[in-house]
């Protein structure tokens, strides 16, 4: 019997296997694929967000079907695919999901949009580095190091091209078992998680900032959820 397919969808930072260092060991139990979303490349110039292309990439990786684990902005096309192709997506694990179009009327999301929308409106007038610095200050209240390498400059250009997550055409995924993992550090993501929990998702918190899956506790939550779903499917 072949191992169950698990597809990992990165956020806006590292991509491919580099985005999932603590989950590499899951390949001993599952057939794991670590994707590269549209516009993410170590050699090609970045391109704007394309949710349709990302859905196609995820669907192709799933083959006959499997589990999807998605982080941050990667959760958007993962959810969109689960709505359109519930025959492919057996379970969803959403880590700090940037699914803000679901919660635009709620306080933390509304405050975030009010803070960030002017930045996205002005991004065509800004350099990649100016956008990066302003983005990091507004989201993390910190200063970003100046992009000094080719990879860093490419990352800054890619960030400026990302679509505002509150504009994504999202809807609730009916009937797909879902785990939402958050880091407990930012009310914005907790608000999205609680909204999804209200629709039937399981919400777990593992302190670890925006990457709770890099922690022992967060990784354990992911593994337990995948194993439980696999056991139920086998039964």
pTM here is 0.95
What is the C-alpha to C-alpha distance for residues 4 and 32, in angstroms, rounded to an integer? 8
* pLDDT attached to residue 7: 98
Is 56 found in the same domain as 73? yes
Q: Mapping DSSP to helix (H, G, I), strand (E, B) and coil, where does residue 91 land?
A: strand
Residue ending a domain, choose from 138, 161, 184:
161
Is 194 found in the same domain as 96? yes
Query: Nearest 5 degrees, angle CA 8-CA 183-CA 99?
Result: 60
Residue ending a domain, choose from 161, 179, 201:
161
What is the tens place of the pLDDT at every residue in 88-143? 999 999 999 999 999 999 999 999 999 999 999 999 999 999 999 999 999 888 88
The total domain count for the chain is 2
* pLDDT attached to residue 1: 56
Is 19 found in the same domain as 82? yes
| Residue 226 pLDDT class (50, 70, 90 cuts) | very high
What is the tens place of the pLDDT at every residue in 153-196? 999 999 999 999 999 999 888 889 999 999 999 999 999 999 99
Is 131 found in the same domain as 98? no
Is 47 found in the same domain as 138? no
Spatial contact of 92 and 178, defined as CB atoms under 8 Å apart: yes
* pLDDT attached to residue 172: 83
What is the tens place of the pLDDT at every residue in 28-46? 999 999 999 999 988 888 8
CATH of the domain at 58: 3.40.50.1820
What is the tens place of the pLDDT at every residue in 1-10? 578 999 999 9
Range of the domain at 118: 107-161
């Amino acid at each position: 019997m072949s191992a169950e397919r698990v597809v990992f969808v990165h956020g806006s930072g590292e991509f491919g296997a580099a985005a999932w260092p603590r989950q590499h060991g899951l390949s001993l139990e599952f057939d794991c694929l670590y994707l590269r979303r549209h516009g993410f490349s170590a050699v090609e110039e970045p391109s704007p967000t394309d949710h349709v292309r990302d859905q196609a990439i995820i669907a192709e990786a799933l083959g006959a079907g499997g589990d999807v684990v998605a982080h941050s902005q990667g959760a958007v096309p993962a959810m969109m695919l689960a709505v359109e192709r519930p025959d492919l997506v057996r379970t969803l694990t959403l880590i700090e999901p940037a699914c803000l179009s679901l919660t635009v009327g709620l306080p933390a999301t509304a405050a975030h949009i009010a803070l960030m929308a002017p930045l996205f409106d002005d991004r065509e007038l800004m350099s990649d580095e100016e956008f990066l610095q302003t983005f990091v200050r507004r989201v993390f209240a910190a200063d970003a190091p100046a992009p000094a390498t080719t990879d860093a400059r490419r990352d800054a250009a890619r960030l400026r091209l990302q679509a505002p997550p509150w504009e994504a055409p999202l809807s609730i995924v009916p009937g797909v078992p879902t785990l939402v993992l958050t880091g407990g550090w930012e009310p914005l993501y907790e608000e999205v998680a609680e909204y999804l929990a209200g629709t039937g998702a399981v919400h777990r918190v593992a302190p670890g900032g925006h990457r709770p899956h890099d922690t022992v506790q967060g990784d354990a939550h992911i593994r337990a959820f995948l194993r439980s779903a696999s056991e139920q499917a086998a039964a």
